[in-house]
Amino acid sequence: MILCDTGVIVASINVRDRFNQRCLTVLSTIRVPIVTTWPCITESLHLLGAQAGRQGQDNLLAQIETGILEVRAQTSDDMLRICVLMRKYRDVPMDFADASLVVAAEALNITRILTLDSHFYAYRVHDRLPFEVLP
């Protein structure tokens, strides 16, 4: 299982994105489930709407419908952990979607993440384990 951040989702769908080919190349090598969170889906739909229009949004929805991309829901306890993490990493900074991915990593016991966001080099899973950042 591997986590996926907003930037990779958007870049892999938007052919005009400068990271499109890089993301598609890496995604073609992934043989495990790709998991993201609802905050990342929300961000991705917003960005795709602005950058690639309704077709870009439809492409993302199709990835969810066909199971290419799994979406992990947050629990009430997850939301509390997100609040703690956002305060802890406020100087990095950490936004809500990033925090949701760290919490998902903790819940799923994984450290691999597909992201274009360099902040994930600073974040720690369970406050100690670094992420393995791809691409």
14 Ramachandran zone, left/alpha/beta (phi>0; psi -120 to 50): beta
Pair 4, 109: CB distance under 8 Å: no
Q: What is the pLDDT of residues 53-112, one digit of tens each?
A: 999 999 999 999 999 999 999 999 999 999 999 999 999 999 999 999 999 999 999 999
127 Ramachandran zone, left/alpha/beta (phi>0; psi -120 to 50): left
Q: Name the 3-class secondary structure at 117.
A: coil
Burial class (CB within 10 angstroms; exposed 0-12, middle 13-18, buried 19+) of 126: exposed
DSSP 8-state symbol, 19: T
Pair 114, 24: CB distance under 8 Å: no
Indicate the number of domains in the chain: 1
Q: What is the pLDDT of residues 15-53, one digit of tens each?
A: 999 999 999 999 999 999 999 999 999 999 999 999 999
Q: How many CB atoms lie within 10 A of CB 123?
A: 24
At residue 29, the pLDDT reads 96
List the domain range (segments joined by +) for residue 65: 2-134
pTM of the predicted protein model: 0.95
CATH number (domain holding residue 9):
3.40.50.1010
Pair 89, 108: CB distance under 8 Å: no
